[in-house]
Structure formats: structure tokens, C-alpha cells
Amino acid sequence: MYVAQEGGDHYQAQYQHWDWVTDCQMGYLPGNATKYISRWRKKGGVQDLKKAQTYLEKMRTILFDRPGYIFNHGNHYAIEHRTRFFISLSDMSDTENQLCRMLVKSFININDIDMALDMLEGCIRGAILVQEAQDVGAAMVGQQDSSMPVQASSGGAGCTTMQAPTTSGISEPHNKQVDGMEHPFGYDQWSENPIAGK
């Protein structure tokens, strides 16, 4: 039975995170860690990844105090079947998928947690780099020189790239209508030799 989500649409899917957690009988700590891992791109960004990190650190301290503590209680078939289904519907990266697989297991040990923390740290560093690149791109657009307009466009990995102006401003420009030649970068006007006007 479907239950509407309050405060956003980051869980709008055929099979939601809480369905997966319930079906796999995940515990509170791994359930929350995987919640933040699976939703960070849609909702909280880097902060969500850092929240997941705190849940993993709490799991680690529990295992130090109580080695062999069982966080999840689902049976192997349900875990494998439902996890495969949840991952197939998600837009998570391979690393995020692997983290979810590690945290849904019935038996999680210190080595699993350490490996998950290392993987999550890599995700956080990557997300911060992308965010910084986007911030730099936005700053460059905001501080552009009025004599040389710059246009922002979408680049790889969600970053912003800069493009040169579409006209060169040279006094004797090349004219596409006269000789039919186009500038190789698509500019409206250009001249290879401004002194000779050619």
C-alpha cells in the first residue's frame, strides 16, 4: 500500500527505500545510513553523505563494545532479492550500490564498516570537488568582464564550462555571406589577419 511522502519527492519510486528496509528487516543504524546514501543527490547533497558517515561510525563503536552484534535480521533470500530490486530502480553510482549491499547484510563486522567508511569518504571527496567546480563556474560567470561576455554551459560531471563570445569584434571581419566559409568554432565574424583584413 502506497503512503505519500511528506516534504519532497526524493523517494518517489515504484519501490521506495523504506519498503526495502522493511522487507530486509534492516536495523535503525544501517537503515538510516542507506537512506542518506541513496537520497543525497536528490535532497541533502554532501551533508547527507556526512550524515551516513555518522551512522557508520556509530555502528563501528557498537561493534567495538559488542563484537558480533547483529544489526539486520532479514533472511538471505529476501535480502538478495529485494536489494537487487531496490538497486535496479535507483540512480545510485556503483560505489553507492556496493555500500547499500554491504550495509544490508545480516552479519556486519568491523572490517565491513571500515571498508564502507573508506568508500563513503571517497564519495564525499568527489561530491565536494564537483560542488567546488560548480561554485567556481558560478563565480566566474558573476565576475565576467563586460567587454568580453562569457556564456556558461553545462559540461561533464555537472560542472560549468566557459565559452568565448560569438563575435570577435574585429574591424574587418570575415563575412560568411561573401565567401561561404564558416568559422571553425561557429563564431559569426572573425578575421585571421586583422591587419590585412583577411
Q: How does pLDDT run across 19-70, given as a tens digit for each residue?
A: 999 999 999 999 999 999 999 998 889 999 999 999 999 999 999 999 999 9
Residue 104 lies in a domain: yes
Is the separation of the CB atoms in 79 and 106 below 8 Å? Answer: yes
Number of domains in the chain: 1
Residue 163 confidence (pLDDT) = 43
Gap between the Cα atoms of 154 and 85, Å rounded: 32
Assign 113 to helix, strand or coil. helix
Residue 180 lies in a domain: no
pTM, to two decimals:
0.65
Residue 174 confidence (pLDDT) = 47
Residue showing cell 561573401: 178
Number of C-alpha atoms within 13 angstroms, CB side, residue 61?
6
Residue 151 lies in a domain: no
Residue 102 confidence (pLDDT) = 95
Range of the domain at 123: 17-139
Residue 177 lies in a domain: no
Residue 90 confidence (pLDDT) = 87
Residue 90 lies in a domain: yes
Residue 73 lies in a domain: yes
Residue 127 lies in a domain: yes
Residue 14 confidence (pLDDT) = 79
Is the separation of the CB atoms in 18 and 11 below 8 Å? Answer: yes
| 136 to 27, 98, 126, 144, 148: CA distances (angstroms) | 40, 31, 15, 12, 18
Regions in the chain scoring below 70 on pLDDT? 1-13, 144-198
Residue 144 confidence (pLDDT) = 65
Residue 48 lies in a domain: yes
